[in-house]
């Protein structure tokens, strides 16, 4: 391990650096870090090449950020909302290069989401590496677009929900709702509290999305999936998002959730707003190939997770595989793909300059890759971790 003493900043030699800012890779850069922050990024010298204390990698990027991950390492957040489970999920996600996660708690009965809030608060207090916040996906969704969520638990938001959510202290809090079902005044209050509200599992019209955007909506969850589609006379959630100048969108690039032509179209229209998400379930980086969800058996067949009727039930993909996929099947270049795993999600969370970038003052969080885009290692808040073994 590199020294962590303040007098000896950690240093990484990147033969190629994607810094989350420049459109091109920067060759031969030294990244200096101390106390969990990046202190300098400079051109490497001949002396640096001889310094054995410098850790060397082919390609370095800002730490990948996954805005939507339900589980990994045989652990599902909804099943075990506690810090130990979050540690296992984060470790499983790291195998795919993900440095920061928003563990995602999906629709559950009543105010069961309170257990997820408490778990993330405790994990952050304990210093569990990689937990940047929480994603609550439901229960305030549309009965017309439940997806795999339990329809019996989908419900309207009430005053007590508003009080609990706006008082939550979980780091970044991303809340997926069907905006058309929110009570009047709820969305402005949520956003005023710093909550990043996304539309998802929604039957909203384009006009309703525009109104929600004016009230603080910042994005949509898993674009194209579980939302109203674009038609000739009604753009729906999909069309409203593509036409927007500010809405972010998560997208699942596994080849099952979204046709590659739609992925390519979204990437072309919103290159600075599209965010790769895994939507991964407990099978990612795990041994299990099936589990029970809401009384249904979910099975992994190849790389596809479905119930017995064939309905998709989350995903089985890592972040580095998402990057490779979007390059191969949607024609993106390397830096464009990396942006969608780093700088874009950082901006979606309102954390540009803090994460998703390699520059002085940013958190010392890196994903380090080989020339063939395999995950080599990484650093999370100054802690060097073996991303291959979690």
Helices marked H in the chain — which ranges?
46-50, 83-94, 113-126, 159-167, 186-192, 206-214, 236-243, 260-269, 319-330, 334-339, 343-348
Confirm whether residue 192 is marked as ligand binding: no
Confirm whether residue 91 is marked as ligand binding: no
Determine phi and psi for 249, rounding to 5 degrees.
-150, 135
Determine whether 48 is an active site residue: no
Confirm whether residue 312 is marked as ligand binding: yes
Long-range CB contacts (within 8 A, 24+) of 233-242: 234/205, 234/206, 235/206, 236/204, 236/205, 236/206, 237/199, 237/202, 237/204, 237/206, 237/209, 239/206, 240/204, 240/206, 240/209, 240/210, 240/213, 241/209, 241/270, 242/266, 242/269, 242/270
Do the beta carbons of residue 130 and residue 384 sit within 8 Å? no
Determine phi and psi for 76, rounding to 5 degrees.
-110, 130
Per annotation, catalytic residue among 19, 254, 279, 321: 279
Q: Say what angle helices 206-214 and 236-243 make with each other, to 10 degrees.
A: 50
Confirm whether residue 269 is marked as ligand binding: no
Q: Which residue has the tokens 């390059």?
A: 327
* CA dist., res. 268 & res. 231, Å (int): 20
Confirm whether residue 32 is marked as ligand binding: no
Confirm whether residue 233 is marked as ligand binding: yes
Confirm whether residue 15 is marked as ligand binding: no
Confirm whether residue 255 is marked as ligand binding: no
Cα radius of gyration (the chain)? 20
Confirm whether residue 234 is marked as ligand binding: no
Token output for 30:
């030294």
Cα–Cα–Cα angle for 104, 105, 107, rounded to 5 degrees = 135
Binding residues for substrate: 148, 225-226, 233, 257, 312-314
Binding residues for Zn(2+): 137, 201, 222
Catalytic residue numbers read 279
């Amino acid at each position: 391990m590199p020294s962590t003493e303040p007098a000896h900043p950690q240093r990484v030699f990147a033969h190629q650096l994607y810094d989350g800012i420049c459109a091109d890779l920067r060759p031969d850069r030294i990244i200096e870090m101390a106390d969990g922050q990046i202190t300098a990024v400079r051109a490497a010298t001949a002396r640096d090449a001889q310094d054995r204390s410098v850790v060397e990698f082919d390609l370095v990027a800002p730490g990948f950020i996954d805005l939507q991950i339900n589980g990994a390492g045989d652990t599902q957040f909804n099943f075990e909302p506690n810090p130990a489970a979050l540690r296992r999920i984060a470790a499983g996600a790291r195998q795919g290069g993900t440095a920061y996660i928003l563990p995602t708690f999906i629709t559950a009965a009543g105010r069961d989401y309170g257990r997820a809030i408490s778990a993330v608060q405790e994990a952050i207090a304990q210093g569990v590496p990689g937990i940047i916040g929480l994603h609550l996906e439901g229960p305030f969704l549309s009965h017309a677009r439940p997806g795999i969520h339990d329809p019996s638990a989908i419900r309207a938001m009430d005053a007590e929900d508003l009080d609990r959510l706006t008082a939550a202290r979980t780091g970044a809090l991303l809340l997926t709702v069907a905006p058309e079902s929110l009570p009047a005044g709820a969305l402005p209050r949520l956003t005023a509290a710093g909550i990043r509200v996304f539309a998802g599992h929604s039957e909203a019209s384009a006009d309703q999305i525009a109104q929600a955007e004016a009230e603080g909506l910042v994005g949509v969850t898993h674009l194209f999936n579980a939302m109203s589609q674009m038609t000739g006379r009604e753009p729906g959630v999909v069309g409203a998002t593509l036409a927007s100048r500010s809405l972010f969108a998560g997208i699942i690039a596994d080849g099952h959730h979204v046709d590659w032509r739609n992925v390519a179209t979204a990437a072309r229209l919103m290159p600075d707003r599209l965010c790769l998400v895994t939507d991964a379930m407990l099978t990612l980086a795990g041994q299990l190939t099936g589990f029970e969800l809401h009384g249904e058996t979910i099975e992994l067949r190849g790389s596809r997770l479905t119930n017995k009727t064939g309905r998709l039930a989350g995903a089985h993909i890592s972040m580095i595989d998402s990057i490779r996929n979007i390059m191969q099947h949607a024609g993106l270049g390397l830096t464009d793909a990396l942006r969608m795993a780093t700088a874009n999600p950082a901006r979606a969370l309102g954390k540009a300059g803090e994460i998703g970038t390699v520059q002085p003052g940013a958190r010392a969080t890196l994903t380090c890759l080989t020339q063939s885009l395999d995950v080599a290692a990484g650093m999370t808040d100054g802690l060097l971790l073996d991303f291959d073994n979690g």
